[in-house]
Amino acid sequence: MGIMDKLKTAGKMRDELIATELLVSAKATVRTYAVAITETASPEVRKVLKKQLDEAIDNHAKIANYMMKNGMYYAHDVNKQLEHDKEKIEKSLELVN
């Protein structure tokens, strides 16, 4: 693999890495708001947290849809996702060798 091929692969991998980190963070945010809602006794605070939870769910959906549209995430096909993960590992190993 030539240097230009490695740079193209690295760029796509970088974009996917950033998107994956955003997706993981979005999932954690949804969980955090969900737990916070169950821990509050204040109706006013619960209302604010529900609004934030809805926004967090929307953000998660936007990130996941972006990743699926761009071949980074196969939420509906576990086998294809596993194959994709395997390819990412192999490409990563090629970049360091």
Q: What is the pLDDT of residues 24-78, one digit of tens each?
A: 999 999 999 999 999 999 999 999 999 999 999 999 999 999 999 999 999 999 9
Reported pTM: 0.77
Domain boundaries, the chain: 3-96
Q: If we measure between CA atoms, which residue out of 58, 51, 60, 52 comes closest to residue 22?
A: 60
Per-residue confidence at 97, pLDDT binned at 50, 70, 90? low
Question: How many CB atoms are located within 10 Å of the residue 86 CB?
Answer: 10
